[in-house]
Amino acid sequence: MVAVLTAVGPAGLAAVYFYGWRALAVVAVTNAFAFATEYAFTRRRGEPVTSAAFVTGTLLALSLPPAVPFWMCAVGAVVAIGFGKELFGGMGRNVYNPALVGRAFLYVSFPVAITGTWTEPFWGGVGGLTAWAPSADAVTSATLLPILAKGAPIGLSALFWGAMPGSLGETCKAAVLLGGAYLLWRRVAAWEIVASMLGSFAVLTGALRAAGLAGPDPLRAVLAGGILYGAVFMATDPVSANRTRAGKVLYGCVIGTAAVLIREFGNFPEGAMFAILLGNTFGPIIEEALSAWKARRAGGQPA
């Protein structure tokens, strides 16, 4: 958990640079309520609050838009810990990624605040390091993914470095990749999940584009939205993800495929969040199917 917090550090610093110090306040609020919620449960069991609460709080905060109200941050953190983690029995027992449970609740409950408005980031010089937040004039209703889907010529450099609006932690893809490299080096994140998720996402996007059914090219599709942030920090959650090598690959492919289908044919502009939760749902089924298949190949019966 400490390694994950270290890895997400560059994305957090980038959030402050692009959106001002209010970004740090969002992280502080979600972590405070994540800690308080977990403490309310663990004290009854005589257990301490673990650093996992701060991982959930931080990942949730960085998945939210820059102008999200603080009270929504608090609600999301309470739902993430209370319903995404403690409802299943606490540390190491959650079926779904807790941070995504909190974000999904906010997404469906307050869609305008979470997806209806976006903030243009600071760019150049010291960025937002001398500001609390971008001005009200920087708030727009235009979202990046629908614009990209229409074939708008958005530069790769702007997508990679963070000159385009997005959620706090997903804006700067360079920071996300730096954190991902650290997680892979520490062997905290499974490379099979990241590779299969992004690979299946890019291949299917390319196939749909070739058939005239998708707008952006695969590289821009990967760099836009939260698919990269989700692949590095959310899908690789060691508790809710698959554990066998074959299971990890299939799990990543399910998420990558679902993300493309939701983006291109669903009512939601971003498919990463629901795709990962869908992968969490089917993860145990994948392992059961692989176990049965191996048993049949060995001539025996599955346990």
Cα–Cα dist 108/88, whole Å: 22
Q: What's the confidence (pLDDT) of residue 217?
A: 85
Domain ranges within the chain, ordered by starting residue = 2-121+141-295
Q: What's the confidence (pLDDT) of residue 296?
A: 86
Cα–Cα dist 303/297, whole Å: 14
**CATH (one of 3.30.450, 1.10.3470, 2.60.310, 1.10.3430) for 2-121+141-295:** 1.10.3430
Does the model's pTM come out above 0.85? Answer: yes
Print pLDDT tens along the chain (303 aa). Answer: 889 999 999 999 999 999 999 999 999 999 999 999 999 999 888 888 888 999 999 999 999 999 999 999 999 999 999 999 988 887 878 899 999 999 999 999 998 888 877 788 888 888 889 999 887 766 665 566 666 666 566 778 888 998 788 899 998 999 999 999 999 999 999 999 999 999 999 999 999 988 887 777 889 889 988 899 999 999 999 888 898 999 999 999 999 999 999 988 877 778 899 999 999 999 999 989 998 888 888 875 554
Q: What's the confidence (pLDDT) of residue 149?
A: 61
Q: What's the confidence (pLDDT) of residue 35?
A: 96
